[in-house]
Amino acid sequence: MDTKYRIFKIIQIGNKEDVPSRVFDICLAAIIIINILIMFLQTFDSLAKYDTLFDIVEGVTIFVFCIEYGLRIWTAEYLYPAESKPRAILHFLRSYDGVIDLLTILPFFFLSGFIVFRLMRVVRIFHLFRINTQYDSFNVITSVLYEKRTQLASSIFILLTLMLASSLFLYNVEHNAQPDVFKNAFSGIWWSVSTLSTVGYGDLYPITPLGRFMALIITFLGIGVVAIPTGIISAGFVEQYNKLKATGIESDITTIQIELDSSWLDMTVQEVEDAFNIDIVMVRRDGQTMTPRPDYKLTLNDAVAIYNRPTKKR
């Protein structure tokens, strides 16, 4: 196997069948946790005497991140085989993983004074949850959020509309009575967010009869508004579970990733099922999970949920 392609296989998170890749995943996860832990410990004044040690450990972890980032750029052509090498590199640099990797490294060298960029390191922890070969609960969560994105966007729009309307209303009602409390519309927004989310910090509250009456209405509306996205996500989980339950084989399902050297690449679902005596239950492509048709052609990076048919006894 080509050395460059072998490195590409190793650094792809989630390949549990490949021992070196699995070791790489575990080591990378440990380094990510150490990097975040160091950032956490640096906030304690009582540990200031260890700042030199923290800086050294942070420098080592950033060095590892730089090596990984360079390897991912070097092997980008295998991640996007349909594109030329320069376009594949550019595609990776603009991808979510590429941007987060870069923002993880840059603050250490150039942007240490910008807390927003330093906090981007925390986002790197989400790399631990990238699922390439296992159809598990995290995959289901991302599938539900993607498939229900339109409904969730609508509920967020309703929430923002109510928040803006309630904040402006309360500001106009309470400003004259409490000019030091409701100084501007932003004060009203802070109050409306805490009220609609049913938190109610109590630092801002209406004192006029009309303002209190409006607060009662908004409080009840907030309960319903919070329940809307919760119900949408819950319904999505039920739908995903029913898709597997309908097959009657949910406990025996495994998932594999279609890669460059896969014999299933460019084969149809029907061809794979007939050739390997399996049932393809679901296919995940571009963040979306679907039940494939028999003529559905499998492409690179598809995650395929399969069920091995029982062998018939003679």
What pLDDT, on the 0 to 100 scale, is given for residue 249?
Answer: 46
Integer Cα distance of 23 and 288 in angstroms: 29
Inter-residue contact 133 to 15 (CB < 8 Å): yes
pLDDT digits (tens, 9 = 90+) for 196-216: 776 666 677 788 888 888 888
Residue, of 251 and 99, whose pLDDT is higher:
99
What pLDDT, on the 0 to 100 scale, is given for residue 1?
Answer: 53
Those residues whose C-beta lies under 8 Å from the C-beta of residue 266, and which sit 6 or more positions away, are 297, 298, 299
Integer Cα distance of 65 and 210 in angstroms: 57
Residues in the chain: 314
What band does 112 get if pLDDT is binned at 50, 70 and 90?
Answer: low
What percentage of the chain carries pLDDT values higher than 90? 6
Residue, of 30 and 127, whose pLDDT is higher:
30
- State the chain's mean pLDDT as an integer: 77
Ranking 101-115, 132-146, 172-186, 245-259 by mean pLDDT, the lowest is 132-146
Q: How many C-beta neighbours within 10 Å does residue 139 have? A: 21
Integer Cα distance of 268 and 274 in angstroms: 10
**Whole-number CA gyration radius for the chain:** 26
Q: Report the range out of 64-73, 189-198, 206-215, 294-303 with the highest average pLDDT.
A: 64-73
Which superfamily does CATH assign the domain made up of 3-130 to? Voltage-gated potassium channels. Chain C (1.20.120.350)
**Per CATH, is 252-308 categorized as 3.40.50.300?**
no
pLDDT digits (tens, 9 = 90+) for 38-66: 878 888 888 889 989 988 998 898 899 89
**Per CATH, is 149-243 categorized as 3.30.450.20?**
no
Task: Provide the residue ranges of all domains of the chain, joining segments of one domain with +.
Answer: 3-130, 149-243, 252-308
